Amino acid sequence: MLYMFILFMIISMIIMAMTLINIIFFKKKETENEKPSPIECGMNPFSTFMIPFSLQFFLITIIFIIFDVEIAMIIPFPITNTSKTPYIITMIIFLMILIIGFYHEWKKGALNWNK
């Protein structure tokens, strides 16, 4: 059993050494201008020209996060075995706040993409 462990360690060391040698000798030598930049999306962050970012995409992201939190609160509801009354009250209050906020955004026209 000991010889299997030693054999495994030797093979692991050989593979690790081969990987390090491969990284050292065969790495890409030329550097790109985009690589060290913090944003690798194809935009040039060093220029002063900025493409206008639509705030509707930001709004959709925020709505997704809110509904994601809602799902995280709703899923454990059938699983809990303790008294469900405080959880139901909390769930109703949270859903009412969510529905009122969603209705407000809808009435303000923030969800209308045809502006």
20 within some domain: yes
Burial 43-62 (b: 16+ CB within 10 A, else e): eeeeeeeeeeeeeeeeeeee
What range does the domain containing 91 cover? 2-27+32-108
The model carries a pTM of 0.43
Q: Could you tell me how many helices (H) and strands (E) the chain has, helices first?
A: 3, 0
Q: Give the Cα separation of 59 and 115 in Å (integer).
A: 14
Of the two residues 34 and 53, the one the predictor is more confident about is 53
How many domains is the chain partitioned into structurally?
A: 1
114 within some domain: no
99 within some domain: yes
26 pLDDT higher than 80:
yes
Segment 37-90, tens digit of pLDDT: 566 565 555 655 566 667 777 778 888 887 788 788 777 776 765 666 777 787
Q: Give the Cα separation of 14 and 22 in Å (integer).
A: 12
115 within some domain: no
81 within some domain: yes
